[in-house]
Chain A
Amino acid sequence: MPQWGMVIDLDKCTGCEACVVACRTENNIPIAGEEQSATGRQINWIRVERYWEGEYPNIKARFLPVLCQHCDAAPCEPVCPVYATHHTPEGLSAMIYNRCVGTRFCANNCPYTVRFFNFYKPAWDAPLERALNPEVSVRANGVMEKCTFCVQRIEQAKINAAGEKRAVRDGEVQPACVQSCPTTAMYFGDLSDPESEVSRKAESGRAFHLLGELGTKPRVIYLKEADER
């Protein structure tokens, strides 16, 4: 059973946010609009956090693409009273939109703040509502949502592979963000397969977990030069 994981190489990330745009398009993420974004209601399943370090003229910009880490010990999962968020056997932290009643406890318990709530009915400016992806459900008013590692692409790859009576090949599944990164800073694959690209990259000496000291055991591994971390 594949154990999905992702590696993000921060030394290659330019902060271009192509992954953010690709994710929105792939996953039917609603448009919040200018006013609602200013209030903080924007939904970005993956976002690029930008931090400034140092004083002029020695300023450095740090880019950190943050998405749901699909933690093995996810703090968001035990606190949902209706089991709307759960863990799949393949290691994804999955969301059942129909079951969510909107207590927002999961969002409070996520240390990465990667969970999003539909404060209003999801809406798109015309004519973007015609560009929705039919393989991804559109969420309702009052439910939580977050990155799913493009589970629709994972399932499609598994169906194709089963049809051809083979296992899923390494690199066959690419979530929208991984696919669209111009510097190929993101990798996705099976962490339980020692030959896969993500497993080999994860062994690098530059690897670290975001907020790893909390013990959430995330499945997203970041790579960064140690002296600049």
Chain B
Amino acid sequence: MTNRVHAIFDDPESARRAMRELIAAGADGADVTMMSSEPYLESGEVTSETQGTKIPYFTLAGGLLGAATGFGLVYFTAHSYPVVTGGMPLVPPFTTGIVMYEMTAMGAIFFALARMLWEARLLRLRPVREDYAPEVADGGVLVSVRSDGDAERWRSILRNAGGLELANQYRER
């Protein structure tokens, strides 16, 4: 369990100011995070953690895989058993196309979801207990910084920036 220092701010601007001061004072950008109950993405970010998402690539890959699965499903199952179709084509392009279309959509959806869950590091409950505060639900913006050894320095910077320090971790109610 890593040691972290938490402070709650009233609005995202002051939280971001505090984050910049922390980084200027030597904190690693990857160790400083901001948590809020609303997305504040349009007002700029301090760390570059929102860059470099691969979700679109995975979506595309999922779509192609889905199309291939759809085609394979129709083609190989039609050829696996000698059903007589009375002169109709065994793998008609239109109907194969329809099945491929739907499977493409399904593949794209699943891969996009999977990649999103991976990149957002969801499906883990422990960070909520260790690195979160319920004051976020009331509209506050939480700034969290890893504090191996520099805890006092971070605390004073956060206090000076206007944050209310939170002593305890997320409590079980």
A139 to B87 Cα, complex, angstroms? 28
Main DSSP-derived SS at the B contact region: loop
For residue B85, CB closer than 8 A to chain A, the reply is yes
A78 to B94 Cα, complex, angstroms? 13
A169 to B138 Cα, complex, angstroms? 91
Residues of A within 8 Å of B86, CB to CB, are 72-74, 77, 86-87, 93
For residue A88, CB closer than 8 A to chain B, the reply is yes
For residue B88, CB closer than 8 A to chain A, the reply is yes
A77 to B85 Cα, complex, angstroms? 8
Quote the shortest CB–CB distance from A32 to chain B (angstroms): 31
For residue A83, CB closer than 8 A to chain B, the reply is yes
Size of the chain A interface, CB-CB below 8 angstroms: 11
For residue A205, CB closer than 8 A to chain B, the reply is no
For residue B84, CB closer than 8 A to chain A, the reply is yes
B interface, how many residues as a size bin?
under 10
Closest chain B residue to A89 by CB distance?
B84
List A residues 4-28 near B (Cβ within 8 Å).
Answer: none
Residues of A within 8 Å of B84, CB to CB, are 86-89
A83→B83 contact, CB < 8 A = yes
* Residue of B84, B85, B86, B88 with most partner-chain A CB within 10 A: B86
Closest chain B residue to A217 by CB distance?
B87
Closest chain B residue to A88 by CB distance?
B84
Residues of B within 8 Å of A87, CB to CB, are 84-87
A96 to B74 Cα, complex, angstroms? 22
B88→A77 contact, CB < 8 A = yes
Closest chain B residue to A83 by CB distance?
B83
Residues of A within 8 Å of B87, CB to CB, are 72-73, 87
List A residues 63-98 near B (Cβ within 8 Å).
Answer: 72-74, 77-78, 83, 86-89, 93
Binding site for B on A (CB under 8 A): 72-74, 77-78, 83, 86-89, 93
Binding site for A on B (CB under 8 A): 83-88
5 example contacts (A-B, Cβ-Cβ < 8 A) are as follows A72-B87, A86-B83, A86-B84, A87-B85, A93-B86
